[in-house]
Structure 1
Amino acid sequence: MLSPIMLTPLVEAMQEATLVRWHVREGSRVEQGTPLADFSAAGRNLTLSAPEPGEVVVLRIAEGQMVPVGTLLAVLDRAPATHAGPPPPAPGKSLKVRRLIARKMQESWRSVPHFFVTVAVDMTDVIGLRKSLGVTINDFILAAVVRSLREHPWVNSLWLDGEAVEQSAINLAMAVATECGLYYPVLADCGGLGLRELSRRAAELAAKAHEGRLERKETAGGTFTVSNMGMLGVESFSAIITPPQAAVLAVGTIRGEVVVDDDGEPGIAPMLRLTLSADHRILDGADAAEFLGTLKIYLEAPITLETSGDRESC
């Protein structure tokens, strides 16, 4: 059950106060009387404590901000702490996860100048190879993205302190939809990995996401994101960039379409649409088109991903 934490008068006649620092973070477990935050008011340093036990769902006020009495400071989930042993089945999507995602996406949409570029890819050869190799279509996409980022390292940049900074390590975040919400586990330092090792690591991280076992370090440091809604039947979509990354790749479903071959003959081919959402402060249209062109080449000749000389981790 959710409980709002409001700024109450901490001293007589207090009308406003400045938040000096939080003692807790979102996700922290607190008991009744646990210090939540330090405030400055009327020349005095004051501490606000938790009125009851629970979990901090969201912090609404930034440190250094002055707010009047009655302001919503945080939200507490008063659900009791779980007992020792395996966790119970996860509910409806997690309110905490939803709020975090909403806040990050709102910030991204307001502050990042997005533009979108789409390319269609013939997945005939990927479909032919995937069963014999024991990997998924998404594994091929991840491997092709890693190779393409190596060839176009500027796409693997972050917007830091007002400028784009190219990253030496490729940390590939992949969107995983679970019963509790959307998580972004990260394939860390995966630039030298081949198809099979990427497949193994991606499966491990996805399983941990669904089981609620992801560690904080396994969701941090992403430099590029892949969001695949193909399994949901979505033909194409545009994703929102996760700051400070330069871009995110949206992957749709594969569907048969009429295509014309080099001889002008019509036929049916399994086509996939990939949409790159890019930060225009870092990338321009040519950067996005060249990256997608390389990605298309790898996916239409996927044997190069399987037979590469990349190192395979044990």
Structure 2
Amino acid sequence: MPIAIKMPALSPTMEQGKLARWLVKVGDTVSAGDIMAEIETDKATMEFEAVDEGTIVSIEVAEGTDGVAVGTVIAQLAGEDEDASAPVAKPAAAAPVAAAAPVAAAPVAAAAPVAVAAKGDRVIATPLAKRIAAIKGLDLSGVAGTGPNGRIVKADVEGASPVAAAPVAAPAAAPAPVAAPAALPDFGIPHEDVSLSGMRKTIARRLTESKQTVPHIYLTVDVRLDALLKLRTELNSALAARGVKLSVNDMLIKALGVALTQVPQCNVAFAGDTLRQYSRADISVAVSIPNGLITPIVTDAAGKGLAKISTEMGDLGKRAKEGKLAPNEYVGGTASLSNMGMMGIKQFEAIINPPQAMIMAIGAGEKRPWVLEDGSLGVASVMSATGSFDHRAIDGSDGAQLMKAFRELVENPLALLA
């Protein structure tokens, strides 16, 4: 009996995707690990590899098809002992796949994992996933498979750790779907209607849900940058031989990470009747890409040196713009940072990425009149930083403590080197 190849869940929050391109055709023979198709998720275009050997006997979903639900049969594969020329019966309609709880652009809580891909005592995994697991010393019996029929694939093991992770609490119930807007009226103005990409549809839906369901509170502080800019110049001079060039953003990522460890009441996630307290600060950093936004994660920002953060952000930012991030590199994070200062934006209020409970919005540094330490009036380099907090999870006083800690770290940046 032919093997049904189904639309995979290439990230924990993927509900549907676009079958961008087939790399095989009917009659082709494939082996486990061969790349069969390119699938566009809401975040990136990813390769889909074969998990069984055999011959492609039918293509059920044409390339370029958008909105293909996870679990939909997209092709059929005849095994080595089957007649590939025999007609293939059309598969019965699959039961609807339950959607993960909607989250914002940079989700923290993953959907409930697929059951571990084991059959009896045998773990079902692709050869490539097994090789990666062997190199990393992973026990595949504890890895959740997101491939067809719960098979463990490359993406499942790339971000996995040899140490078993703590169980993830069930996500909060999804809010009611956001009603689709009515068709735009035609006022006779010359125009062109462009279909939204999967990424743009997801951004629109999730940010609308966040703004409608999360009670935001905004706290703004003005931060003097002179000491940080001076330290950055000195560090870049010392790091030049290593090819490292720190940006202001790198230093602000570190400052937010340290501030969250100093004020752990703000390093939390909210889910219904559960408040998750994190013991590590993983910072999701907003990166603009064509047609959207993605938030690669700097894990343990408080515990990493500035040079390490700079190197990681350079790599993550480059691969984000190329659409080459793995899901574990943008799914997660305990808080977010969005910096629009380089575009001259003085101050703005960012939308929280649930179930995260805060996001820091950074404005442009500029010369402003400033009362100096001796009481005289002078000029200083100053930026405005605005924290958006989920008031269900974080009290205003705790948010104020975080903003105070962040400002003090930026104004006294030697503490970032400790």
Q: TM-score, normalised by structure 1?
A: 0.71
Note closer, same or farther for the CA distance 1:130–1:93 as it changes in structure 2 (3 Å cut): farther
Structure 2 counterpart of 1:214, from 302, 325, 339: 325
Distance 1:127 1:191 in 2: 20
Structure-2 residue corresponding to 1:56: 66
Match of 1:294 among 405, 412, 415: 405
1:101 aligned residue (203, 227, 247) = 203
Deviation, structure 1 residue 182: 0.6
Aligned to 1:285: 396
RMSD of equivalent CA atoms: 2.9
Aligned equivalents of 1:127 and 1:93: distance in 2? 43
Q: Secondary structure at the match of 1:283?
A: coil
Q: Aligned-pair distance for 1:126?
A: 1.1
Provide the rounded CA distance (Å) in 1 between the counterparts of 2:65 and 2:327. Answer: 17
1:29 aligns with 2:19: yes
Q: Any conservation in 2 of the 1:208–1:214 contact (CA below 8 Å)? A: yes
SS of 2:374's partner is coil
Counterpart for residue 173 of structure 2: none
Task: Give unmatched runs, 5+ long, in structure 1.
Answer: 1-21, 33-48, 65-71, 73-91, 309-314
Equivalent pair of 1:176/1:209 in contact (CA under 8 Å)? yes
Aligned partner of 2:354: which letter? P
Q: Is the Cα–Cα contact under 8 Å of residues 172 and 224 in structure 1 kept in the other structure?
A: yes
CA 58–145 in structure 1, closer or farther in 2 if over 3 Å, else same: farther
Is residue 2:130 matched to residue 1:140?
no
2:354 is paired with a residue of what secondary structure? coil
Shift of 1:28: 4.7
Q: Deviation digits for residues 90-149 of structure 1, max 9, x if unmatched?
A: xx9972211111111011011100010000000001111212222111111011111101
Cα displacement (A) at 1:260 = 1.3
8 Å Cα contact 1:58-1:96 kept in structure 2: no
Conserved? CA contact 2:217–2:389, under 8 Å: yes
Cα 1:180–1:285 shift into 2, 3 Å: same
- Provide the rounded CA distance (Å) in 2 between the counterparts of 1:152 and 1:238: 21
Deviation of 1:153 after TM superposition, in Å, equals: 1.2
CA contact (8 A) 2:19 2:62 kept: no
1:149 paired to 2:149: no
Q: Deviations over 1:209-234 (max 9, x none)?
A: 11221111111111100000001110
C-alpha change, 1:62 and 1:239, in structure 2 (3 Å) is: farther
The answer to whether 1:258 aligns with 2:369 is yes
Residue 386 of structure 2 aligns to a residue in which SS? strand
Alignment partner, residue 381 of structure 2? 270
- Inter-partner Cα distance in structure 2 for 1:232 and 1:62: 42
The structure with the greater share of residues assigned to strand is: 1
Inter-partner Cα distance in structure 2 for 1:58 and 1:109 = 27
Instruction: Show CA shifts across 1:131-188 (max 9, x none).
Output: 2222111111011111101111121101124232101232210000122421110112
Structure 2 CA distance for aligned equivalents of residues 23 and 196 of structure 1: 37
Matched, 1:194 2:305: yes
Instruction: Tell me what 1:115 maps to.
Output: 217
The alignment of Structure 1 onto Structure 2 pairs a total of residues equal to 246
Q: CA deviation at 1:264?
A: 2.7
Q: 1:304 is matched by which residue type in structure 2? A: A
Q: Read off the aligned partner of 1:27 and give its amino acid letter.
A: G
Using the aligned pairs only, state the percent identity: 32
Q: Secondary structure at the match of 1:118?
A: strand
Tell me how far apart the structure 1 counterparts of residues 282 and 259 of structure 2 sit (CA, whole Å): 13
Shift of 1:57: 4.5
Q: Kindly tell me: are residues 100 and 147 of structure 1, through their superposed partners in 2, closer, same or farther at Cα, counting changes over 3 Å? A: same
Deviations 1:30-62 (A, max 9, x none): 889xxxxxxxxxxxxxxxx96743243486x98
CA distance in 1, matches of 2:339, 2:97: 33
Partner Cα separation in structure 2 for residue 224 and residue 93 of structure 1: 31
1:241 to 2:352 alignment: yes
